[in-house]
Amino acid sequence: MRRAPSTPACLLLLLGLIASGCTKPVHPGDPISGLTREQLDRFRRGRAVFDTVFTPERGLGPLFNAAACGECHENPVSGAFGDEIEVHATAFHPDGNCDPLAAEGGPVIQQNATPALKAALGIDKEPSPKDATALAHRSSPAIFGRGLLDAVPDSDIVSYADPDDRNHDGISGRVNRFVDGRVGRFGRKAFVPALDEFNAGAFVIEMGVTNPAVPTEESIGGDSIPQGVDPTPEPEINQEALDLTNDFVRFLAPPSPLRQNGAAGRGRRLFDRIGCASCHFPTLRTGKNAVRALDRKKFFAYTDLLLHDMGPDLADICLGLATPSEFRTEPLVGVRLAKHFLHDGRADSLEQAIELHGGEGSGARDRFKALEPKDRKALLAFLKTL
């Protein structure tokens, strides 16, 4: 005779399900929780646009870095890290002014050209701007949780800045601003204010795919595109494709940290104690937002979205108000999946990335180096849970 499970067993099972429902881990590549059915559908359809491989017939080029968003943000899931390294160039003038060299094709120097452009001009990439004072390499980062970062109020970011280091902790932190004065937050130099602007720009800058928000192609080192080389009419994708991509990117969640027991738990406390958390703020909070899942949410960020002077060894280009040595605190969400670290991927391990912190980061770096070996290990174990 089959017996129905006893009530306590049912109850326990139910309670277990409820409990696991509350703390259900968010895996890399998952959407943020609390989306409506329609938003979830747009997230999935947006991922398909993100992963679309463009051809010259569909709008790729004439200059480009890669043929799909998902070619650079891909490993191990769409929206994660990539192997591609880009070339950026700007000119930093002695008076402190930064020229993004738009008139010479900057700041992003595309490394590929379509067959039609090759045939017309005999070039296989964009020429380097002659007035550049520095070139920079940029590794392809994961873009987890950027929709939440987008929804942090400007006033919060401004309130974290301490440009004159009034509290004397050796860490100042400055806000970057776009050309029109808005607070910047995206890109390694925190130059771009809003996520949808970054995405629309990426279509053109990375792939040569024009869209309703950015309807014109990049120049070829400042020169116009030869006749007949890019016959696809602008915009090369429509508003819906752009909106879907934006929804995929803004709904892409920061993955939950792995369990932090033992050493990793100790590492988390050390991260606070030796001052890593003075820049890598573990959590931030979004402001009021029309999307419920983004409305006043506390989330794992591990950044303050500010620029910090990281010393001469890491310095490369200026961008906006950011001087060559200033970089935005890199959000560490998903860093357990990264294989190379820092803006140009020069560090092959987390330990090396920490040891290369200079400038405002040198105090925390020195305290890290002064830790007992087992404490250093604990801190690294913690980072490997993020």
Interface positions with ligand HEC (CB under 6 A): 65-66, 69, 71-73, 84, 86, 138, 140-141, 143, 146, 171, 186-188, 195, 198-199, 202-203, 206-207, 245, 249, 274-276, 278-280, 308, 310, 314, 327, 329-330, 332, 335, 338, 341-343, 350, 353-354, 357, 360-361, 364-365, 368, 383
Q: How far apart are CA 342 and CA 316, in angstroms?
A: 12
CA dist list (Å): 244 to 45, 197, 248, 302: 7, 14, 6, 27
Among 188, 204, 218, 202, CA closest to 101: 218
Cis peptide preceding 324, ω within 30 of 0: no
Nearest-approach distance from CB 379 to ligand HEC, in angstroms = 6
Residue closer to ligand HEC by CB (options 2, 168) is 168
Residue closer to ligand HEC by CB (options 118, 344) is 344
Nearest-approach distance from CB 57 to ligand HEC, in angstroms = 18
Q: How far apart are CA 130 and CA 277, in angstroms?
A: 40
CA dist list (Å): 65 to 68, 277, 282: 9, 34, 33
Residue closer to ligand HEC by CB (options 280, 297) is 280
Residue closer to ligand HEC by CB (options 138, 174) is 138
Q: How far apart are CA 311 and CA 92, in angstroms?
A: 16
Nearest-approach distance from CB 138 to ligand HEC, in angstroms = 4
Nearest-approach distance from CB 36 to ligand HEC, in angstroms = 22
Contacts of 124 (CB under 8 A, 6+ apart): 112, 113, 118
- Count of beta carbons in the 10 Å neighbourhood of residue 132: 21
Residue closer to ligand HEC by CB (options 323, 329) is 329
Nearest-approach distance from CB 20 to ligand HEC, in angstroms = 30
Residue closer to ligand HEC by CB (options 20, 167) is 167
Nearest-approach distance from CB 104 to ligand HEC, in angstroms = 18
Q: How far apart are CA 181 and CA 178, in angstroms?
A: 5
Q: How far apart are CA 327 and CA 342, in angstroms?
A: 10
CA 328, 329, 335: angle at the middle one, nearest 5? 125
Show the tokens assigned to 37: 């059915």
Residue closer to ligand HEC by CB (options 321, 338) is 338
Nearest-approach distance from CB 187 to ligand HEC, in angstroms = 3
